Amino acid sequence: MFTVEQIKQAHSKVKSGADFPEYIQEIKILGVTAFETRVKDSCTEYFGTEGYRTSSTPMYEELTIADLCDKERFEHCLKIHQHGETDYFEFCKDCAATGVEKWVVNLNEMTCIYYDLAGNDVLTERIPQ
């Protein structure tokens, strides 16, 4: 099975959201089937086959997630991140400011779903292959 260290190595190649699809393909090859990332500290739980799971440690001091979600502003922040205009931490700060609590990536379905604090689906995206 995969390790957090292997995932970190793959993630180290990600400079912006533009690199995300390649990262997804690389960790999929490692055996990752899904992962859930908390915006407040970027702690991520990774899932594999047969119930395998492992978690990363927090990457930064906790961010405060806005109580109300601003979907339009979030979509704008996501778009500029995907075009390489912001780095990962800046994107996480944008998520927190716009009320996005976490994202869940399903590598079998190739989707990324962003959720607010109430657990509502803010946006579901297809991951380019």
58-102 pLDDT, tens digit each? 999 999 999 999 999 999 999 999 888 988 899 999 999 999 999
Distance, in Å, from the CA atom of 68 to the CA atom of 103, rounded to the nearest integer, reads: 16
Residue 79 sits in a domain whose CATH number is 3.30.1810.10
Residue 61 is given by DSSP the state S
Give residue 8's pLDDT band: very low, low, confident or very high (50, 70, 90). very high
37-60 pLDDT, tens digit each? 999 999 999 999 999 999 999 999
- pTM score of the predicted model: 0.90
- As for how many domains the chain has, the answer is 1
SS percent in the chain: helix, strand, coil, step 5: 35, 25, 40
Q: Which two tokens stand for residue 95?
A: 């998520």
Structural domain containing residue 99: 4-126
If you average pLDDT over residues 18-36, what whole number do you get?
Answer: 92
117 CB-side CA count, 13 A: 12
